[in-house]
A and B are shown apart, each in its own frame.
Chain A
Amino acid sequence: MTKRKRAATPIPPVLVVGIGNPDRGDDGVGPLVVRQVAEHLPPDLICHVGIIERTGDALALIDDWAGRDAVVLVDAAAPVSVSGRVHRIDLLEDRLPDDMSLSSTHAFGVAAAVGLARTLGLLPRRVIVYAVEGEQFVPGAPVSEAVAAAVAGVATLVAEEVAGLLREPVAV
């Protein structure tokens, strides 16, 4: 998506990004999930969140999330325990675990993008990562069954996360 200057319309401060290559097996889970997020969001919230898909260079994420206050990333993770298992990592509290290599098929991974952004002061205030364990990343292969079965559930979780961010009580 090219960066179009929207003079009159402000950019929604909450962004959801589905990261992955749809043509490499379970790597496509990110985009699959975010395509379903909108239908799980109450209608009054939809216009308050941006939802995009990204393939390839994760470094471009730094441009995508520029100026946003909160970002929810959905990405595939290399197999660690069970295929289709979802891990939630809130970067306010935890760092991205080293043993879980996210976006291992991408040239410059999400973990590296987050690390660089953090160092340069370009990271949004809240970054929450939903990582779905995959089992195969074969070029041309479809998403495996276990991962496909997890998509709807993850979409619901992400929608709830977004609703929580948008309705979080502002303590006085």
Chain B
Amino acid sequence: MPKAERKPRLAVWKFASCDGCQLTLLDCEDELLAVAAAVEIAYFPEASSVMAKGPYDLSLVEGSITTAHDAERIHKIRRQSKALITIGACATSGGIQALRNFGDIDDMVAAVYATPKYIKTLATSTPISAHVKVDFELHGCPVNKNQLLEVLSAFLAGRRPAIASHSVCVECKLRGTTCVMVQGTPCLGPVTHAGCGAICPAYNRGCYGCFGPVEGGNTAALAAEWTRLGASPRDIQRVFSTFNAAAKPFRKESEAHGD
């Protein structure tokens, strides 16, 4: 008896995040119906009321871990997922909410909520990889639509995703944008992972690191260039403390210029 081709079961999970990375999948308007035909959407609350139990062939996870409840939840997801792929800065580095790791969480809670004891939150925001094994990390804030489709296609074809690992500088060259640094605008591109297509320099501003640190980036040398272009230590400390603030190379450089 011929074995029926079973569609891979896809689940999409959200932790502490803005939803932008899941939305990127829904933003693949031309491809969305084709993707939906190639997989069985088992769990994707933002798109469907279908909520099938595990196990899942592929889980996409957005968001960081900020509560004990979520730390438990990610383990349940991991054991029920053949492959687990994290999407976006919150899931891969803890997001901007990871700034709490370096401050006083009680102060922060009290600043926002009149009755802080109602809030049960961890003192840290940690990436998914700090809790469970992750099969692939897709960087970005948000992730890039085409890279997300590449990751899905690669998984469906049983191959490793082809995601570039060079810095934003290469993307600027490909786009034909004149380097903004040589025009006097500090830019984080040389130490930032490619993926966005080098948008900011094309819009007359410097890169601010949405895709996190590129491997082997020389943040100290870049910081020196920033200083030469007139940036203050506080400017440098700030630019390394945004959406990938907890990623080690960025954290290290931001601390080097701290208060």
Contacts and interface: CB of A to CB of B under 8 A. Distances in A.
A and B touch in their complex, CB below 8 angstroms: yes
Given A8-B159, A69-B133, A169 B82 contact: no
Interface stretch (B73-81, B102-110, B141-149, B243-251): B73-81
Interface in A118-172: 125-126, 165-172
Contacts of A10: 82-84, 135
A97 to B, nearest CB: 25
A125 B79 contact: yes
Most interface-central of A166, A167, A170 (chain B CB within 10 A): A170
A9 B159 CA distance: 8
B133 A166 contact: no
B79 A126 contact: yes
A68 B132 CA distance: 9
A45 interface: yes
Contacts of A12: 82
Interface string B124-137: 00000000110100
Given A13-B78, A69-B79, A7 B160 contact: yes
A47 B73 CA distance: 22
Nearest to B53: A167
A13 B83 CA distance: 9
Contact of A44 (B6, B80, B132, B159): B6
Contacts of B84: 10, 13
A168 B133 contact: no
A130 to B, nearest CB: 18
Interface in A67-84: 67-70
Interface residues of B, number: 23
Contact of B80 (A68, A165, A172): A165
Interface residues of A, number: 25
B233 interface: no
A48 B69 CA distance: 25
A14 interface: yes
Contacts of B80: 13, 48, 165-168, 170
A77 to B, nearest CB: 26
B158 interface: yes
A44 to B, nearest CB: 7
A9 B158 contact: yes
Interface string B28-61: 0000000000000000000000000111000000
A13 B158 contact: no
Contacts of A70: 79
Contacts of A13: 78-82, 84, 133
Interface in A33-55: 44-45, 47-48
Contacts of B132: 69, 125
Interface in A1-19: 7-10, 12-14
Given A7-B160, A9-B158, A166 B75 contact: no
A7 B77 CA distance: 22
24 contacts: A7-B160, A9-B158, A10-B83, A10-B84, A13-B79, A13-B84, A44-B55, A47-B82, A125-B75, A126-B75, A126-B79, A165-B79, A166-B54, A166-B55, A166-B79, A166-B80, A167-B54, A167-B55, A168-B54, A170-B73, A170-B76, A170-B77, A170-B80, A172-B73
Interface of B: 6, 13, 53-55, 69, 73, 75-84, 132-133, 135, 158-160
